[in-house]
Amino acid sequence: MSNTAVVVGAGRGIGQAIGEDLARACPGDRLILADIDAALVERVAASLQAQGVEAIARHVDITDEKSVQELVDETSDADRVAIAAGVFDSSPSLEVTVADFERILRVNTIGCFDVARRYAAGMAARGGGSIVAVASVAARMPRMRQAVYSASKAALRQSLRVLAMEVAGSGVRVNTVSPGPTDTEMMRQLASDHATVDDLADGSLLAFRPRIPAGRVARGSDVAAAVRFLLSPESSHILLGDIVVDGGELLGM
């Protein structure tokens, strides 16, 4: 295993938690933190550097093929890549615009898939690696006012399964992690049906949202731990997988 890991979408939320988790678990590794918000990811990297971690911040726009390829070229030795970039939208299906649909798909599906396939190509040529992308339980369970977001995550999950089949013979593993409600800035946007993010754990009949049996929403660290496992050699026989981190909201379905 090389000593270089890449986290795309590391400026905040789950992506930041993944970067921080990898830094704690593998303090001697070179950690590339990439995000469209250069200033934000620079602050995350600086915080880790202050702890003695070799954390390097890079700007990337995953909707720009050239930007993605530049990042992949610069980190061509990476054999662990986590993809946590994403955008969220909540609009009634009768009101969502085609432009909004295309914008969300461009980031959550096409952009994330492009990152995965470009890294997978290099890993396949070098004989192996692991890629994990953050999907969502919204890919499995319909969510009120989330037709676009749910579609984008379902498409990402399935497209990466196909990619996983195609590169498995070259030693490359591709998996996803599907969080349920997680206490992040993006989730706070979603919590309009509830007084606070924590109240999402109680469910809502009005929003057709089930109660979370664990009694709380996830923390970024909960999701990061699952990502780290899938990136590690300990998960060497897991591919095309999707680990659900939802506190039991989907009831195991």
- Rounded-to-integer distance, Cα 35 and Cα 40, Å: 8
- Rounded-to-integer distance, Cα 115 and Cα 8, Å: 9
- 3-state class of 54 per DSSP? strand
- 3-state class of 31 per DSSP? strand
The residues annotated with a catalytic role in the active site are 149
Strands 4-8, 54-59: parallel, antiparallel or unpaired by DSSP?
unpaired
Token pair of 209 as six digits: 């949202």
Q: Is residue 93 within 8 Å of residue 147, measured between CB atoms?
A: yes
DSSP 110: I
List of residues 6+ apart from 105 with CB closer than 8 A:
148, 151, 152, 155
CA 24 to chain centre: 19
